[in-house]
Amino acid sequence: MTTRPVVVGTDGSEHSLQAVEWAAREAEQREAPLRVVSVVSIPPRSVWPRVLPDTVARTAGEEAGEALSRAIGRVARAAPDMLADGGVLWGPPVSALVACAAGASMLVIGCRGAGGFPSLLLGSVSRYVATEAQCPVVVVRPQTADARGEVVVGVRDLDTSTAALAFAFQEAELRRASLRAVHAWFAPALRHAGHELDLGETAEKATAEMHDALAGWREKYPAVQVTEEVVHEHPGHVLADLSARAELVVLGRHVGEASAGPRIGAVTHAVLSHAHGPVACVPAERSARG
């Protein structure tokens, strides 16, 4: 189906190993190669003033190699017929992962790494990578027992949601799952040109626009059962709640959204932090079709 690989990063933590298993199953569904990578990031000299640099590098490299070996073992458990390619990368984790994923069909990471604080819902590396990579990034969280055959896609802007919709429809088709397209907005009082807008009228217009926008996708993926939903509620809350019963939540990301560093949109951050399962962030500038 595709020759572009699925790339997954691991640091040996349980969160990253869950991401490895998810990536292995995804690569198997896509009939795509799987590449598992572990990044060696050397801490600043101030952290190890009495230790020789080559000793630190050797120790860090050995730890990354051990993490990679554990990850390959998890691949064998999740997808016994999958042959995974593994490699150790050197450098800052974010830039190393983003560079490695250039040309990949997707990059898969865990929600937190081994060095993360338990109180944090989303690790800094996950946050950066989700907004820096030029391919779809899937941040994996353990799914709830209520997860069923449904993919949810958040439709923020119909004019710039092409890549997210392409990815979501493809995932739904691969999984033989239904697709729920959700357009949500939240405003105590919507105003336009100094006049309050009628919520019912606004919802009706948005519903019609989304129905028209999805018509072509329904024709392209006739086997995918589609449900359309327009709600007046905070998008982050809506999508995080729906993630409890979805196999995957798909979000679009505008080009340049990461230009300000780790600051990501409020909706994306809310969903990545509070989702009950995997979340895919798809950059708008490229088609996700493999």
What is the reported pLDDT for 278? Answer: 95
Detail the DSSP E strand segments found in the chain.
6-9, 34-40, 84-90, 106-110, 137-140, 150-154, 178-185, 191-192, 195-196, 226-232, 248-253, 279-283
What is the reported pLDDT for 113? Answer: 54
Mean pLDDT of 43-48: 50
Higher model confidence: residue 61 or residue 238?
A: 238
Under DSSP, the state recorded for 88 is E
Instruction: Please tell me the distance from the alpha carbon of residue 119 to that of residue 82, in angstroms, as a whole number.
Output: 35
pLDDT tens digits along 70-127: 999 999 999 999 989 999 888 888 899 999 999 999 999 998 655 543 433 456 788 8
37 residue type, one letter? V
pLDDT of residue 151 exceeding 70? yes
135 residue type, one letter? C
Band (pLDDT 50/70/90 cuts) for residue 268 is confident
Higher model confidence: residue 173 or residue 13?
A: 173
Q: Do residues 135 and 32 make contact, with C-beta atoms less than 8 angstroms apart?
A: no
Instruction: Please tell me the distance from the alpha carbon of residue 211 to that of residue 72, in angstroms, as a whole number.
Output: 43
Task: State the number of CA atoms in the 13 A half-sphere of 171 facing the CB.
Answer: 30
| Residue 44: Cβ within 10 Å count | 6
Instruction: Please tell me the distance from the alpha carbon of residue 135 to that of residue 103, in angstroms, as a whole number.
Output: 7
What is the reported pLDDT for 289? Answer: 40
Mean pLDDT of 193-212: 74
User: Rounded to 10 degrees, what is the CA torsion of 113, 73, 39, 253?
Assistant: -60
The β-bridge relationship of strands 137-140 and 279-283 is antiparallel
Strand partners, 13: none
Q: Do residues 112 and 13 make contact, with C-beta atoms less than 8 angstroms apart?
A: yes
> Domains of the chain, with CATH numbers?
6-140 (3.40.50.620), 150-283 (3.40.50.620)
